[in-house]
Amino acid sequence: MRLDSTAKWAVYAAFTVAFVGGIAVAGSSAELAQIAPRASAAVAQIFPGAAVLGYGEETEGDVAFYEVKVEFGDRQAQVEVTADGRVGEIESVVPAEGLPQPVRATLTRLTEGGSVTEIEKHEVRGVPRRGTFEPVVPPAMQYEVSYVIDGARRQRTIGQNGELLAAESDDDGGDDDAEDDRDTD
């Protein structure tokens, strides 16, 4: 349904700010009732006082969860959380300066001659198994790096110890590391 600008303002004016489990949530009371209290409480525990900007319902394998977008200070994150409060992954955009040294070293080597466009930190706190997120202890950190070299957009995932975790992809979704993937026996 498309709304003209007058109708959009009327809808925005009708929204209220409410609190669910200590998290400020922008939206109507009908929308707020759709977020499970234990999920909301789990997000509040991770990001006390954060404002919920929105959420959606997702499924990965046999795990149904909310993807909740929060804002805390001048930063934002997305949290995967099941209705019973189990957390899967927390995603946020981070600056290169805040990366662990092994990750920064790999990033520098990987993007030599290019420019970094975005770094997403993925904090894996749970993996989908048996209908829920089973905890990963300690949480695993991964950094998804988007960058441009010679006009080509590329993306790689770097592990918390600086190891490359995924094959390189470009803007066509192809694998530019075909030579690395070949069996050389």
Separation between Cα atoms, residue 138 and residue 134, nearest integer Å: 12
State mean pLDDT over 23-27: 44
E strand or H helix at 160, and its extent?
none
**Token couple for 73:** 């200070």
Using the structure block, give the residue that is written with the tokens 């007058």: 6
pLDDT interval class at 122 (50, 70, 90): very high
| Residues 128/62, Cβ–Cβ less than 8 Å | yes
Distance from chain centroid for Cα 139: 14
Which residues is 90 bridged to in the sheet? 79, 123
Structure pTM? 0.72
| Residues 43/70, Cβ–Cβ less than 8 Å | yes
| pLDDT for the residue numbered 25 | 45
| pLDDT for the residue numbered 47 | 92
Neighbour count for residue 91 (Cβ, 10 Å): 18
C-alpha atoms less than 13 angstroms from C-alpha of 25 in its C-beta half-sphere: 23
pLDDT in tens, 57-91: 999 989 999 999 999 888 999 999 999 999 999 99
Residue 20 confidence (pLDDT) above 50 = no
Average pLDDT over the chain, rounded to whole?
A: 78
| pLDDT for the residue numbered 34 | 63
Residue 98 confidence (pLDDT) above 80 = yes
Task: List, in order, residues 6 or more apart from 20 with CB less than 8 Å away.
Answer: 32, 35, 37, 40, 52
| pLDDT for the residue numbered 38 | 93
pLDDT interval class at 52 (50, 70, 90): confident
Separation between Cα atoms, residue 23 and residue 19, nearest integer Å: 5
pLDDT in tens, 140-156: 999 999 999 999 999 99
